[in-house]
Chain A
Amino acid sequence: EAGVAQSPRYKIIEKRQSVAFWCNPISGHATLYWYQQILGQGPKLLIQFQNNGVVDDSQLPKDRFSAERLKGVDSTLKIQPAKLEDSAVYLCASSPTPFSGGSTDTQYFGPGTRLTVL
């Protein structure tokens, strides 16, 4: 089966510019995650969708970051305007089943988008 797809793979922008990332999860996966991974740190969850609804966006800087998942499939993450500290790898992941109180699903990660803000 095809894995999680992300584009672009690399992006360089200047501060105060806008940028958008795209993610296509594994077909049929209900849950989609966006993570931010700053150099030297582990991935940090920004936002989690279950189908096309947001279930956790507690760590999303909502003054500049936004995300949507139209029709419960593809997703886009936007930063507007970007700051220097937004330089990171942005990872998209998906998992098969909606949360139902059972054990945690395996998350399948995309290759990531490396963002450099100058």
Chain B
Amino acid sequence: AQRVTQPEKLLSVFKGAPVELKCNYSYSGSPELFWYVQYSRQRLQLLLRHISRESIKGFTADLNKGETSFHLKKPFAQEEDSAMYYCALSGDTGFQKLVFGTGTRLLVSP
């Protein structure tokens, strides 16, 4: 079974502070991991995917297969980073089905 766990419902930080949004997964095969983001009054959209290994808006995420984690990190948070962040997994069988975590709301205060 595929499962994604985001242990924090809310993460509140000050502008300029480092941010780490946690994501752990359960899957026996070779997953693809994603971070999707929803800004206020906007649609859910892809932020980054582990196979790209790129930094988007200063965010990075590394797939750690040993710890089955895919934490999202940013060294200096900005107020515009405030949003709902969802970690998602796609397995290596089936038809690109995404399984989402419950999401973490990031609130960056000035």
Q: Which residues of A are found within 8 Å of B51, using beta-carbon distances?
A: 103
A83-118: contact bitstring with B at CB < 8 Å (1 yes, 0 no)? 000000001010100010001111111111000000
Which chain A residues in 51-92 approach chain B with CB under 8 Å?
A: 55-56, 91
A43 to B94, CA, bound (A): 18
Q: Is the CB of B100 within 8 A of A109?
A: no
- B90 beta carbon closer than 8 Å to chain A: yes
A22 to B102, CA, bound (A): 25
Residues of A bordering B, CB below 8 Å: 3-4, 31, 40-45, 48, 50, 55-56, 91, 93, 95, 99, 103-112
Known: A43-B100, A55-B95, A93-B44. 11 other contacts (CB 8 A): A41-B103, A42-B4, A42-B86, A56-B97, A95-B96, A103-B32, A104-B34, A104-B90, A104-B96, A107-B46, A112-B43
